[in-house]
Structure 1
Amino acid sequence: MLRPSMKRLLRLLALLLAGAAGLLVLAGVAGFVYLRASLPQTEGRIALKGLTAPVEVVRDRHGVVRIRAGSLWDLLFAQGFVHAQERLWQMEFQRRVGQGRLSEVLGEATLAQDRFLRTWGFYQAAKSAYERLYPEEKEAVDAYVAGVNAFLASGAPLPPEFALLGFRPESWRGPDVLVWAKMMSFDLSGNWEEELLRHRLLARGVSPERLLELLPPYPEDAPTVLSAEDLRLPLRREEAPSALLPMAPPRFLEASNNWVVAGSRTATGKPFLADDPHLGLQAPSLWFLMALEAPGYRAVGASLPGVPGIVIGRNERIAWGVTNVGADVQDLYLLEEVGTGYRYRGQVLPYRVREEVIRIKGGREERLKVRETVYGPVITDALADPPKTPMALRWVSLDPEDHILMAYLGINRAKNWVEFQEALKLYSAPSQNFVYADIDGNIGYIAPGKFPIRREGHTGMVPVPGNGAWDWQGYRPPETWPMVLNPKEGLLVTANHKVTPKGFPYALTYDWAEPYRAERILELLRAKEKLTLEDMKAIQQDQKSLLFRDFRPVLSLLNPLSERARAWRERLLAWDGTMAPSSEEALVFALWYTELTRLPEKEVGEAHWDEPRYLLKALKEGDKNCDQPETEYPETCLDYAALALERALDRKEALKAKAWGEVHRAAFRHPVLTHTPLRRLSDRQVAFGGDRYTANVGPFDPQSLTMGHGPSYRQIVDLSNPEGSLFVHPMGQSGHLLSPHYADLLPLWARGDYLPMAFSGEGRTLLLEPGR
């Protein structure tokens, strides 16, 4: 789930560790004994101070955990304890990211990252939110934190990463839980980067009109999540942004699919609900599979280590799934500086200066002065290449109050649509496409969140003056959120594409994902009169590329330069577009398309411009970037496409690859151990198919062709037989290298298999008992 800047940070971190004296701890027999001793206890009894009654923890043969407790406090206490048993290092790393305290244990290499994190003030926002939690919400957080701290106090050996880095974790506090929710919101809210991109392109001399060609708006004939007939709100004539405010799909926000199908369209007569959030692939996995049971609370699904409750899943009566809306809840404000202040509403206001002390491994300290405004921090101060004009950030996740955890507690316990809808009224950010189904046969959709109300003319697409004239005017009330219960068509699909139909009263964002995934899922759902559980599986595994379907006509127009290219043109024209890992055609198409994305490199200053509608229009109608200045004659765009095919085939030969999966591999790297001698134990790669636009998504780095994002979790809930529902995630349940559950789920995930998503299950039993 980490952005490219964080990935660079992790590479630096690992290089530091490669020569660390801490590796000696793990050498030889003594190291092996230490590693074995630090595996979690999974059977017997453990006495823990803070529990009020015994709690049963059952781990099945795949390491899936089922916890049964007599109260919600004990249940969440035990969840915190088990998360710490299995994923303590991951939780420690996550909270240090949120705190901006990496340099304390990693040294100078992470200083720039800490400056960035401290400038945004994630942990400051988490502390503020914790102080304002509702009593029940605070009790849930405190119970979870008490469970984590009970593990730290238990005397169990720490995971090997702590020995490598030579430190012990501090006790956990309430804000440590909330800060990871802030970081998840950051990872799924990229509008500030989109605003900076447009600002940069305009500064390069790209005209507003040209921006609309390079970054085409969402197509009018493409599907939307909701139709006009689904909505009860009055529709209006939609106002398009002016040419000065171009609309652009995100460069790559983590994507996801979910859908829900009514019983009228299924063979069982009851709904199916499917979800597969596409997030960063990592070791250990982002998710942890659990079933949690206490009086008044029974939920099973995917949990996040470091956070209480179930994020995606089901209870006895309802099921839910989420994908990212990508709502625009961030704005950048251009500051007119006057002396040591800035102009706001006719006055010069002084910056509020927040001093952050960054401690660096080895004993040095750095004092960072963060400038704050009425909007929020001046985040351009933390950028490596800041724009000339400083900009402050307004973002809902930096608001002092945030009750997202209360929303999830309500979702976990909801018994029907009314209770589900009521729980989501407290939801803040990141806005998610929630699909819903229940055992009574209802299906529904809500996009909840704190959506800013902007004045007319302010679309949120580019930075605006921070003079008070463009301030937010509050948030949209819940009754105006996009939602529907039991839509007429009997199905709902979300794949990060546009939510609202033409005429919806306000814009959630203009940065929608390309509609290819949504179109393919809808195509498959509409292809059968009665859908089955096997159909749901097949859709989640589908890798047919509608991107190829769009680009195929271009191939037929090419006049390739060589016999080799002519032969491959005919092979591709005969291919069905399935990006299977075993397909050689998939490999050639992926390489050809990657070469096509180089088209506007000199104009935009980016090596790869993955904007398929811009590229298609250029290839069909011509574009100024197609003529190569280094040649003596003017090339057409079809000439450029033919040359791109030649280059793709040259690259294929250099790779010596015969199938897409030989080079397109899903990579799971451990943030600490990747560049150490332990990397062979820690890291994994598997052949994978697909591309950025297939339902079974497979985005790849254009240089390495490896896949760092993908289906981080899959679930299929059968509301006719909830205990027969399915889920899985890649890697495994444990974060420990020597655990049999470190990577045992990866083969299942790679071949499209699942585990039972059930409350029942046998396995090893650990009894947690109250202690003194």
Structure 2
Amino acid sequence: MLFPTMKRFLRGLVWLLGLFLFLALLLGFSGYLYLRASLPQGEGRIALEGLSAPVEVVRDGKGVVRIRAATLKDLFFAQGFVHAQERLWQMEFQRRVGQGRLSEILGEATLPQDRFLRTWGFYRAARAAYGKLYPEEKEAVDAYAAGVNAFLASGAPLPPEFRLLGFRPEPWTGPDVLVWAKMMSYDLSGNWEEELKRHRLLARGVSPKRLLELKPPYPEDAPTVLRAEDLKLPLKREEAPSALLRMAPPRFMEASNNWVVAGSRTETGKPFLANDPHLALQAPSLWFLMALEAPGLRAIGATLPGLPGVVIGRNERIAWGVTNVGADVEDLYLLEEVEGRGYRYKGRVVPYGVREEVIRVKGGREEVLKVRETVYGPVITDALEDPPKTPMALRWVSLDEEDHILMAFLGVNRAGNWEEFKKALLPYSAPSQNFVYADVEGNIGYIAPGKFPVRKEGHTGMVPVPGNGEWDWLGYRRPEEWPQAFNPARGYLVTANHKVTPKGFPYALTYDWAEPYRAERIEELLLAKEKLSLEDMKAIQQDQKSLLYRDFRPVLELLTPLSEGARAWRDRLLAWDGTMAPGSEEALVFALWYTELTRLPQREVGEAYWDEPRYLLKALKEGDKNCDQPETEYRESCLDYAALALERALDRKEALGARAWGEVHRARFPHAVLTHTPLKRLSDREVAFGGDRYTVNVGPFDPETLAMGHGPSYRQIVDLSDMEGSLFVHPMGQSGHFLSRHYADLLPLWQRGDYLPMRFGAPLGRTLLLEPLPSP
């Protein structure tokens, strides 16, 4: 009889032999040997041109990297080198996205995306910003790019994606570093889409009053990040909202959580700080865990391959976390065109500026894209597949010529107290983030930095406005006007993309806020105990109890289902506690029922699914014109619609053949390119997961496939009483190479809610010494 460990060993051996045979058949023996050789060197010595002194790179048993350098310049050089070792293909793909140059390597299929990206001008903006960097900021960017180039010049075999696609990467430049920051800003700034959506709904004949019903205001009684007592700015009387002022959450805001708890509420007497940003799930992971050490900087946490420094993490004295504010820093301007001459602006006709973008396509052909520019920015509707009749130009903070977001993060890495932390954020631009803060002295704080536009009275930013000069921005808010709080009396601060500012705050950051479900649940759990522990912080991050279910449960109580099976399931759902666990059959049925409910206004809005819980609740309780189904002879009530939705949900469950939520609700990690090749089985991963869009441990899903494409991309919990006892993790693994043992070894930990130690202490692992190239 074999022991379980021996069985696992034999199964692993069989899998490895099968993998070897598969790769040998697919690529040939020499191709397989190339793939093995392209794994990063993790120990020994490498001599590199550009270093001033030796740098120690230590990889622990999970591939987490610690870099120790004698200077900051050498530190960022080594960070660029190590990122390139582990994630060069990811970095190459990211910069090509930002440059709008995917078609050079992927062909015609990516031409629409390249046209869109070139029209916006992300790389053009990155080049302009690079030319205006502060000296210290520029040195870090240049050192990082030099480290990437040192890897390219080292002679190490390139990752397999380059061989499969048949090209070599170009040397890195400063704008290549900055462009990914621009793309992250784009990913977290989606107000232009909401403006366009509202414009199109109004064009469909939806009245402003009806828009307010379909997309209800943020609830007056729901929590906000800050309370009136947190603010030093004088409050003002709020005017009654117009039908276009307060809208529900935009599509782009998938979710993120962070919170900080003061020592008065913890067992240790010192703060805890937790963060889990929710972004796209992908292979390899978006993040890379790393500790950076040099004179003047000692930080550990989540880094972004392609950028220097630590984005989310801690140093020896402070900890910080971020979530998306969703601030409205984009506006669309309707252009009144004068045929053949330009557009009207401030009483005169202004000719369009035209820039030509040459898009090279794999195979040899070129396409010349002519982008129209205005005083506001590019005419982005030219790049849409279904452009509106009136052309619209975009004004966006991240297209400004000056952008010092990297300077802000590098300053945060080195900050030692609240005042230094705030000072570091002064040059912050976009995307605005909810920064929570804690330090070893026991202080906690919050600040939302960024370039917030000052708009003329009457310009809400929620719909496109005439681009005639009447509605131009008047500047940006001063840093002293940013929302912030320090050591609030209640002893905690929570952000979950919900409304930041309390009633009466002097200006609007945005009118698009996430539903308050996650924030309410986090606060509920923080207040459930008098003193909180590290284990409590873990439990909150892993919580999947649905307050959405709590809101919709009264509707279930009123249902009179049509079939015996539906009546039985109604009773089961009423007896359920609302936890969206992957093994729960009730969670599956509830998710399917809610998904069917979101079809309610399909005919009116032109979208298959309309995930607006408060609109749906009001409709089901008070009635709505969309509940009557035109294909039937009698007039259905909204409760009739809800009962039919349950029947349809059960039919869909039967068709799926699933008995648990996690069987169909799978967190998917696709590779950007290999997912479309025979190597998909090696590169892609998927695991069962729980939750939904509104649970703390979030699990948003595609209503058609039920697959989960976004989620907790990183988790950290910092214990300010024992910083070396802090925790972090991200899904997949540290390596971007699918043959590496660190390609997906963190995925099981992430799935079951485990963590890695977040410590500077020298780990047991492999050591690589990067040395200056000897003088000739």
TM-score, scaled relative to structure 2? 0.96
Alignment correspondent of 2:12: none
Mapping of 1:616-631 within 5 angstroms? 616-631=617-632
SS at match of 2:674: coil
> What one-letter code is carried by the residue in structure 1 that aligns with 2:643?
A
Q: CA deviation at 1:247?
A: 2.0
CA contact (8 A) 2:452 2:509 kept: yes
CA RMSD of aligned residues (A): 0.9
1:747 aligns with 2:748: yes
Write the distance in 2 (CA, Å) between the matches of 1:519 and 1:201. 31
Aligned to 1:454: 455
Cα-to-partner distance string for 1:571-596 (whole Å, 9 max, x where unaligned): 00000000000100000000000000
Instruction: Give the conservation status (yes or no) of the 8 Å contact 1:278–1:710.
Output: yes
Aligned positions of 1:94-243 closer than 5 A: 94-243=94-243
How far off is 1:26 after superposition?
Answer: 5.5
Q: Does 1:700 align with 2:708?
A: no
Deviation string, structure 1 residues 480-523 (Cα, Å, up to 9, x no partner): 00001000100000000000000000000000000000000000
| Structure 2 equivalent of residue 495 of structure 1 | 496
For the pair 1:606 / 2:602, whether they are aligned, the reply is no
Aligned to 2:467: 466
Matches for 1:556-571 after TM superposition, within 5 Å: 556-571=557-572
Matched with 2:424 is 423
The one-letter code matched in structure 1 to 2:603 is K
Conserved? CA contact 1:292–1:298, under 8 Å: yes
List per-residue Cα deviations over 1:301-323 (Å, max 9, x = no partner): 00000000000000000000000
| Segments of 4+ moved more than 3 angstroms | 23-26
- Gap runs ≥5 in structure 2: 1-22
- 8 Å CA contact retained: 1:285, 1:730: yes
CA contact (8 A) 1:277 1:323 kept: yes
By how many angstroms is 1:239 displaced?
A: 2.4
SS of equivalent to 1:27: helix
Aligned letter for 1:438?
Answer: D
Matches within 5 A, 1:21-40: 27-40=27-40
Cα displacement string for residues 452-480 of structure 1 (whole angstroms, at most 9, x for unaligned residues): 00010001000000000000000000000
1:395 pairs with 2:396: yes
Aligned to 1:686: 687
Q: How far apart in 2 are the matches of 1:524 and 1:685?
A: 30
- Please report how far the alpha carbon of residue 29 of structure 1 lies from its aligned counterpart in structure 2 after TM superposition: 1.7
CA distance in 2, matches of 1:65, 1:122: 31
Provide, for residues 6-54 of structure 1, a one-character-per-residue CA deviation record: whole Å limited to 9, x for no partner: xxxxxxxxxxxxxxxxx99961322210110000000000000000000
Closer, same or farther: CA 486–97 of 1 in aligned 2, 3 Å: same
Whole-angstrom CA distance in 2 between matches of 1:93 and 1:443: 38
Helix, strand or coil at the partner of 1:484: strand
Q: CA deviation at 1:238?
A: 1.4
CA–CA distance in structure 1, aligned partners of residues 266 and 274 of structure 2 = 13
Identity of aligned residues (%): 85
Question: Aligned ranges for residues 59-458 of structure 1 at < 5 Å?
Answer: 59-245=59-245, 247-339=247-339, 340-458=341-459
Q: Kindly indicate whether the alpha-carbon contact (under 8 Å) linking 1:274 and 1:717 is maintained by their aligned counterparts in 2.
A: yes
- CA distance change for structure 1 residues 24 and 196 in 2, over 3 Å: closer, same or farther? farther
Judged with a 3 Å threshold, the aligned counterparts in structure 2 of structure 1 residues 671 and 617 are, in CA distance, closer, same or farther, namely same
- Paired with 1:295 and 1:244, the residues of 2 have a C-alpha distance of 52
Deviation at 1:254, TM superposition (A): 3.0
Work out whether residues 254 and 693 of structure 2, in 8 Å CA contact, stay in contact via their aligned partners in 1: no
| Partner deviation per Cα, 1:350-371 (whole Å, 9 max, x = no partner) | 0010111111111111111100
Give the letter for the 2:283 counterpart.
A
Whether contact under 8 Å (2:701, 2:708) holds in the other structure is yes
- Contact in 2 for aligned 1:208/1:246 (Cα 8 Å): no
- Distance, in Å, in 2 between the alignment partners of 1:253 and 1:395 is 17
Give SS of 1:143's match: helix
Q: Which amino acid aligns with 2:143?
A: A
Q: 1:607 and 1:635 mapped to 2: Cα distance?
A: 20
CA distance in 1 between partners of 2:628 and 2:770 (Å): 71
2:643 matched residue in structure 1: 642
Deviation of 1:246 after TM superposition, in Å, equals 5.1
Residues 141 and 174, structure 2, Cα contact 8 Å, conserved in 1: yes
Q: How many residues align?
A: 750
Deviations 1:706-725 (A, max 9, x none): 10000000000000000000
Corresponding residue number in structure 2 for 1:9: none
Per the TM alignment, residue 676 of structure 1 is displaced from its structure 2 partner at its CA by: 1.4
Q: Equivalents in 2 of 1:656, 1:24: separation in Å?
A: 37
Kindly state the Cα deviation for residue 67 of structure 1 after the two structures are TM-superposed. Answer: 0.3
Paired residue secondary structure (2:604): helix
Render the CA deviation track for 1:612-664: whole Å, top value 9, x for unaligned: 00000000000000000000100000000000000000000111111000000
Amino acid at match of 2:641: Y
- SS state of the match for residue 434, structure 1? strand
8 Å CA contact 2:381–2:387 kept in 1: the answer is yes
Matched residues in 2 for 1:232 and 1:25: separation?
68
Distance, in Å, in 2 between the alignment partners of 1:476 and 1:24 is: 60
Assess if the C-alpha contact under 8 Å between 1:598 and 1:609 holds in 2. Answer: yes
1-structure distance, mates of 2:730, 2:686? 15
In the other structure, the counterpart of 1:543 is 544
Q: CA separation in 2, counterparts of 1:265 and 1:458?
A: 42
Q: Tell me the alpha carbon deviations over residues 728-762 of structure 1, each in whole angstroms, 9 at most, x when there is no partner.
A: 00000000011000000000000000000001122
Q: How does 1:1-16 map to 2 (within 5 A)?
A: none
Which residue is 2:765 aligned to?
763
SS of aligned partner of 1:333: strand
The whole-number CA distance in structure 1 between the counterparts of 2:254 and 2:695 is 14
**8 Å CA contact retained: 1:748, 1:754:** yes
Aligned residue identity for 1:47: A
1:13 matched residue in structure 2: none
Shift of 1:255: 1.4
Tell me the amino acid that sits aligned with residue 675 of structure 2. T
Query: What does the per-residue CA deviation read over 1:548-589, in whole Å, with 9 as the maximum and x for residues that have no partner?
Result: 000000000000000000000000000000000010000000
Distance 1:449 1:326 in 2: 11
Q: Deviations over 1:317-361 (max 9, x none)?
A: 000000000000000000000123000000000001011111111
What SS does structure 2 have at the residue aligned with 1:674?
Answer: helix
Give the 5 Å matches for 1:575-594.
Answer: 575-594=576-595
Matched position secondary structure for 1:759: coil
- Distance in 1, Cα, partners of 2:244 & 2:419: 42
- 1:108 CA drift (Å): 1.0
Alpha-carbon distance in structure 2 between the residues aligned to 1:24 and 1:191: 49
Contact 2:254 2:700 (C-alpha < 8 Å) held by counterparts: no
CA distance in 2 between partners of 1:164 and 1:217 (Å)? 50
Q: Which residue identity does 1:135 align to in structure 2?
A: P
Check whether the contact 1:76–1:147 (CA below 8 A) recurs between aligned residues. yes
Query: How far is the alpha carbon of 1:528 from its aligned partner?
Result: 0.4
Q: Deviations over 1:411-464 (max 9, x none)?
A: 000000000000011100000000000000000000000000001000100000
Deviations along 1:98-123, whole A, 9 cap, x unmatched? 00001111111111111100000000
CA–CA separation in structure 1 for the residues paired with 2:174 and 2:160: 25
Distance 1:181 1:554 in 2: 45
Q: Where does residue 48 of structure 2 map in the other structure?
A: 48
- Partner secondary structure for residue 326 of structure 1: coil
Q: What letter matches 2:52 in structure 1? A: T
Aligned-partner Cα distance in 2 for 1:26–1:569: 52
Match of 2:18 in 1: none
